[in-house]
Chain A
């Protein structure tokens, strides 16, 4: 309760203030909807919104899962040799700077309208932080421990599984936290073009001047991002609690 109360207070205050400003015509309702109107839109369009939410969630989770596995695999490969790292890492960085909104139309050409394009968009946006953080983690193994493993004749594979990977886990989880939020953003952007889910709801509601519905969809998208973030935090707490300072009781 102590943890939840402090952030709850500003939420209630701002919501009430916004409601008052719109009702007293301080801010026109067609620009910013009253919180009550957003709640009404959530309720009135619940079937449409929950179907859209399910699609967006599926696309974001699949895209996120893909970037987790692919990102970790690429980082392992990059960390295996300096030469590979030097030749390929610059392209990973370059890949990250490509604006997703600019290549989204291209994705539609490649994958067509629908799920595949949305998943690809979520994947592209969220993979880089996984690669970068995992790579940093894998490359910062304690040299004394590497010596120890060498002394007992451990192979590169054994050293990866028993030493480098677990030692990198805190950094990997940091990468996943960032990637989880980005996957939702990538999914929404993909849906603007690929035409489904919450992104499509926002796009259609915008053309109809339904600001309340736009806000309702945006709210759901944020909740989705929060939920993914929460799952990663839970995994982090469970795996690191015994040994890493970041998850130990302060």
Chain B
């Protein structure tokens, strides 16, 4: 597999189950070892953040302490990490919930805490592994708009693994469809869509067209 990703890109990775989408993310994050291949220009360590399929919060910590966890592990002082975590929680709309525990939150809120936790270190590269797959559609739409918005403001690179064609087309600037055989790339396409993505776009024929192209590539397998 040969894939070049530009800095500041929002890349969606699509593909059938078991094609190695998640493995690709884990290799970029250096959580798995590469098998014969090489990841060139790896991002500096600690500038990468990872969002998992489920929120994976620490249930014994409050929302604030969960969001501040990465800074705590990196040895940042109490004052600084709390003020950064508070600012980040405000950006995902959870300022009110900082002293609550994960068990008291809805699935969408938990995912937002997870997002705040990932962004609190101001990563240059954000890796996301089907983060919204377990959420209901309305919550997912809402979070997609929010994520897109955060990406635009921060100028980071996002690699977003998903098996939802509509999600990939709506979120990304560029989408890659992987082949069933591990490591191949079937389609590499830039989305011809406006930079500003709002919920109005969801019923736009241009989005429909992009989805159709992606779907055809997926179905050819």
What is the size category of the interface that chain B forms with chain A?
20 to 34
Q: Is the interface of A mostly helix, strand, loop or mixed?
A: helix
Complex Cα distance A166/B69, Å? 14
- Interchain CB contact under 8 A, B50 and A163: no
Nearest B residue to A244, CB-CB: B59
Chain A residues with a Cβ under 8 A of chain B: 142, 144-145, 147-154, 158, 162-163, 166-167, 169, 242-245, 248
A-B contact pairs, 24 of them (CB 8 A): A144-B52, A147-B26, A147-B31, A147-B50, A148-B56, A148-B69, A150-B31, A152-B69, A152-B73, A153-B46, A153-B73, A154-B73, A158-B73, A162-B72, A163-B58, A167-B58, A169-B60, A242-B101, A242-B103, A243-B59, A243-B101, A243-B102, A244-B60, A248-B103
B158 at the A/B interface (Cβ < 8 Å)?
no
- Interchain CB contact under 8 A, A144 and B58: no
Within the complex, what minimum Cβ distance (angstroms) separates A169 from chain B? 8
B74 at the A/B interface (Cβ < 8 Å)?
yes
- Interchain CB contact under 8 A, B74 and A152: yes
- Interchain CB contact under 8 A, B58 and A145: yes
Residue in A142, A151, A166, A242 whose beta carbon sits within 8 Å of that of B48 in the complex: A151
Complex Cα distance A149/B72, Å? 11
Count CB-based A-B contacts (< 8 Å): 53
* Inter-chain contacts of A153 with B (CB < 8 A): 45-46, 73-74
B70 at the A/B interface (Cβ < 8 Å)?
yes
Within the complex, what minimum Cβ distance (angstroms) separates B152 from chain A? 25
Within the complex, what minimum Cβ distance (angstroms) separates B127 from chain A? 9
3 smallest beta-carbon distances between A and B, as pairs? A152-B73, A243-B59, A144-B56
Within the complex, what minimum Cβ distance (angstroms) separates A117 from chain B? 40
* Inter-chain contacts of A154 with B (CB < 8 A): 73
Chain B residues with a Cβ under 8 A of chain A: 26, 29, 31, 45-46, 48-50, 52, 54, 56, 58-60, 69-70, 72-74, 101-103, 121
Nearest A residue to B59, CB-CB: A243
Nearest A residue to B129, CB-CB: A144
Residue in B56, B74, B121 whose beta carbon sits within 8 Å of that of A142 in the complex: B56
- Interchain CB contact under 8 A, B56 and A151: no
Complex Cα distance A151/B101, Å? 23
Within the complex, what minimum Cβ distance (angstroms) separates A163 from chain B? 7
Complex Cα distance A142/B56, Å? 8
Nearest B residue to A243, CB-CB: B59
Complex Cα distance A248/B60, Å? 13
Complex Cα distance A244/B102, Å? 10
